[in-house]
Structure 1
Amino acid sequence: MRKLLVIAVPLVMLLAGCTTPLPQPTPSATASPSASVSASAQPSQPPSEVSSPPTVSTSEPAETPELGGDDEPGRYAYRCGSLDASPEVQLSSLAEVWAATNYTRMASCDVSYEGGQPFEPTSAEEQAISTVTPGARPEEGLAVMLEVLRLCTRVSDETGPGGFKEAGHEALVAAAAFCPDAPQAKIIKGWADGTRTGAPQQ
Structure 2
Amino acid sequence: MAQVVTKDNKVAVERPEPKVRYQFTCTAADGSLIGKFSSLEEVWASTRYMHITDCQVTYVGSGPLVLTPEETAAVNAAVAAGGPAGQVSELCLRIVRACTRTDPRNLAASLAAFGVPVVKGALTLAPLAPQAILLTRWLKTSVAG
TM-score range, shorter chain: 0.7 to 0.9
Does residue 155 (structure 1) correspond to residue 102 (structure 2)? The answer is yes
Distance 2:85 2:144 in 1: 29
Task: Report the TM-score when normalising by structure 1.
Answer: 0.55
SS state at 1:79 partner: strand
Percent sequence identity over matched residues?
A: 30
> Cα offset for 1:164?
1.1
Distance 1:107 1:159 in 2: 13
User: Would you say how many aligned residue pairs link Structure 1 and Structure 2?
Assistant: 126
Larger radius of gyration: 1
Greater RCO (Cα-Cα under 8 Å, separation 6 or more): 2
SS state at 1:165 partner: helix
Distance 1:112 1:85 in 2: 18
Displaced runs of 4 or more, over 4 A: 195-198
Structure 2: gaps (5+ residues): 1-9, 12-17
Residues 1-202 of structure 1: pairs in structure 2 closer than 5 A: 74-84=20-30, 86-133=32-79, 136-137=85-86, 140-156=87-103, 157-160=106-109, 163-194=110-141
Structure 1: gaps (5+ residues): 1-58, 61-71
| Structure 1 residues 85 and 149: alpha-carbon distance in aligned structure 2, compared to 1, 3 A threshold | closer
> Cα offset for 1:95?
0.4
Task: Report the TM-score when normalising by structure 2.
Answer: 0.74
Distance 2:133 2:98 in 1: 12
